[in-house]
Structure 1
Amino acid sequence: MATLSEQQRGLLDSANYATVATLTKDGSPQTSVVWIKRDGDDVLFSTVVGRAKEVHLKRDPRVSITVINKDNPYQYTEFRGDASLTTEGGDELINELSHKYLGKDYPGDVGTDNVRVIVRVQVAKTTGNV
């Protein structure tokens, strides 16, 4: 497990968007932009049961997350590691992330059957320019 620097922690703690890369069944990468949160030196993001990220990570937990500083796009860090998934606390996390990024409760799952998943990435390696 990697120990993050104060600069890397600051990058995660700010409202910077992240790009998550997971592996499809044939090994090709699939990327998507997500909201993130730091818990200690782990990186958390939210998805929904049945979406590509959740399906891919259940099959292969390897993941890469790149976070770019919104104020200076030449400052970034890639966080690589293995993901674990749980539905426990999923609704709370997406609401917390919505407050971080939008400043209000998350409106997206209202009136749906979506089951929220917390993806916790235990960071094994970091690279980048922070």
Structure 2
Amino acid sequence: MTVDLGEAARQLVDGVNTGVLATNNPDGSPQMSVVWVGRDGDDLLISTAAGRQKDSNLRKDPRASLLVIDKESADRYAEIRGIATVTEDLGRVVAQQLAEAYAGPGAGQEYVDLPPEIIRTVIRITPHKVILHV
């Protein structure tokens, strides 16, 4: 069941705070990655390269948990649990947007300049549970 992200969690994501994405390895063990995160409505967006562990894990088991931590106060965070879909980042648009949000104007150019054989994907997490600590 999809849930509303809520204003406090939206503010954390929109505040350009780092996230920690948890996925499940094929053997059931956890795998975590530090990620940049954006938002499309209440869905969370992460960019990665096709074939990375998080990409592969979510294609096999779409359950994900994302912890977004306030850069000003580690006591303030949101854990968003949900189901992920993985699609190609056509034009590398999401990669560019996140790079510019986190690293500044022009930072997304490195994704534009990647060779065409390097495929970027978008991980879209639809929230099913939101746990806030604010």
TM-score by length of 1: 0.93
Deviation of residue 127 (structure 1)? 1.1
- Residues 31-57 of structure 1: per-residue CA shift (max 9 Å, x gap): 010100011111010111111011100
Segment of structure 1 superposing worse, 50-59 or 108-117: 108-117
Which residue of structure 2 lines up, in the alignment, with residue 2 of structure 1?
3
- Residues 70 and 117 from structure 1, CA distance in 2 versus in 1: closer, same or farther, beyond 3 angstroms? same
- 1:65 is matched with which residue? 66
**Corresponding position of 1:129:** 133
Q: How many residues align?
A: 130
Q: d(CA) in 2 for partners of 1:128 and 1:81?
A: 15
Aligned match for 1:105, one of 99, 104, 107: 107
- Is the Cα–Cα contact under 8 Å of residues 43 and 124 in structure 2 kept in the other structure? yes
1:105 CA displacement: 2.8
Q: Which runs of 4+ in 1 moved over 4 A?
A: none
Q: Percent identity?
A: 38
Q: Which residue identity is paired with 2:63? A: R
Cα RMSD, aligned residues only: 1.4
Deviations 1:16-74 (A, max 9, x none): 00000010011111001010001111101011111101110010000000000001110
Structure 1 residue 7 displacement after superposition: 1.2
Point out where structure 1 has 5 or more consecutive residues left out of the alignment: none
CA distance in 2 between counterparts of 1:11 and 1:111 reads 30
